Structure 1
């Protein structure tokens, strides 16, 4: 993916795929093991003494990092939208309701993010597979137009919950095309692992659809019952939320 197809100027509300500077932390074991690719992220180690409670110490590491927002846009306005709807049901004018909830800094404070790891930190022999997006759990990124960081991988195996107010700076947003690719990478890592589309479609060629089952419980799946009694399971594509909610970070 070329840089021009990937990045947009940082603007508007917090979006999935935004690239930020923010602190990240995680809990580690007492032996202080750190995967090589995370070594540069671990800038400060903290030991939390729990002896007065009869518990072993908790070890954490923290550091500032270039991160990508991985939580979906619906998450970023969930409380904002719920409070606005509550005010409107109570008789408040919709524009006034938006103004009121915009002033509440405690709504939707948290989001999830994963760190950007320079591709050069990975084994040279495997970089081609990472760059092509073939390795589950990683999302490849080209260097941005201003070359502010090198070619990187978003490490989806490392996620951290971050407070909005802890963000230092937003550097870039993803284009809609790149954001769709990110959503598929997240879905593949979290749920699907592999997506065998070609084989499923080939097996269905020449068959007739005799029934359709749409899961209305919130699932992403649609099942097509074919005339040979086989079932073709499809996944609905990820989409952007409807316009609304916050208009700023």
Structure 2
């Protein structure tokens, strides 16, 4: 039952080229920075990333993206990452954009064994009707577009069918974890970490503090250990490394 690993490098050692990964975080908040850097050091490529966004240039998933290690992203937000936008518009990267709430539910559904579900989000748009650019040609024209999705009417309202997501691995971050893999998330850093952990067939969590088994109040656990296979305990310096995307000050 002891799921702790000696290092982040050991925890990601079997993530090979072409793997799919669900990754927690929102921008740079709650991202598994240490695991991402370990994966970068390992050199794995042709990765399919499922995450709300891809970090920023030079931090988070941005370091994998900048190194050309990512071939496909399923997410909601291009955001502050200029390299992400450049690769997408230049035809180097395939991107499936999906509404944020839909993405969270697709991850949760996959983790619960639910193959698909109906939602009203996206009805009447290209999300449902198809035509969203997934990949561009180098000249900017559309090379691959999203297909139309199945729609049904329930009690007079139209809903679109969305598929659950499962991935080979998941990388997540938690404030506290125990040796059994139970995780406690902290405020806004919770974001996509719980559904990402659920979606991974092998989920790896980096934790800021390791608790003894039985120490955590069951009512306070956000991710049960059944969803987590490996735990990496961060050093004090790693735990304190929490960058801010945009720092706003007032004079």
Computing the radius of gyration from Cα coordinates, the structure with the larger value is 1
Do Structure 1 and Structure 2 share a fold, with TM-score over 0.5? Answer: no
The two structures have a TM-score, normalised by structure 1, of: 0.25
The two structures have a TM-score, normalised by structure 2, of: 0.25
